[in-house]
Structure 1
Amino acid sequence: MEYLKGPLYLDIAAKGLCFVGVVMMIFGQGGWFTGGVVAVVLGVVCGALSMVAGRRMRQRGWDGVNRVE
């Protein structure tokens, strides 16, 4: 279970950044819209890292030995 904390925190950060970015794009004007776009892009990058990290952690079995796919 300890291996799942990293991908979980990355996933929460990704969703939070995307949410904040969308709110900034809807309610912001001028530079806030650009900041919202940047926040969404960073959220998507964090989400991709979360998926990659989760996939790498799932390749190990419970005994720590890598599984063959």
Structure 2
Amino acid sequence: MTNPPTGNGSALEWFKSSYSTNDGPDCVEVAFAPEQTIHVRDSKHAQGPQLAFGPQQWAAFLPHAAHR
């Protein structure tokens, strides 16, 4: 599910991967919304589009991301 960005994105608290550094590789950021939606965005385009997942979709995705 793709969501347009909302304002400056400050309503969500975004977390960047520990594998990402300020001068290193580009990465993704994740935010957990109160309505149990998990939001994902590109860290180098923070104002760009976001993806939103429900808890079951996110849980199904995580094992695939961990085996990168």
Normalising by structure 2, we get a TM-score of: 0.26
Structure number with higher helix proportion: 1
Q: Which has the higher contact order (CA 8 A, sep 6+)?
A: 1
Normalising by structure 1, we get a TM-score of: 0.26
Structure number with higher strand proportion: 2
Query: Highest Rg: 1 or 2?
Result: 1
